[in-house]
Amino acid sequence: MAVDTKRFGELLQKERQKVVEAIEYLHAENPSSLKDETGDSSVDNHLADTATVTLDREIDDTLEENSEHVLKAIDAALAKIEAGTFGACETCGKPIAEERLAAIPYATHCIDCKRLEERG
């Protein structure tokens, strides 16, 4: 059974746009430095306020990093569509179930190989 690459290509492009918008939003929400966010004078800043700003920044940084990983995976999946290798498990070479691709269109492993990978 051949994978509908046109359908998944469109799905991946839509997902890519969402991820790019999320990254742009995170960039817009974060000033250039923590000092810009808390101000120049450490005397005026309460320790709890600084801790809150730091935690918020760390959460945003983690979200951005995760989004960048997803963006790379989406781009790799789009490249596989172009190369004609989309939908094949990178470990065993068998087709990835269409249901799995519908849930995670940038999946690189069939469910069996993914489970084995996660178990270590």
Residue 23 sits at the vertex; the CA angle it makes with 117 and 80, to the nearest 5 degrees, is 45
Beta-bridged to residue 95, according to DSSP, are: 88
Instruction: Say what the pTM is.
Output: 0.78
For the record, the structure tokens of 24 come out as 């742009």
Tens digit of pLDDT for each residue in 44-61?
Answer: 567 777 777 778 888 888
How confident is the model at residue 35, as a pLDDT?
53
Tens digit of pLDDT for each residue in 14-25?
Answer: 999 999 999 998
Domains of the chain: 5-119 (1.20.120.910)
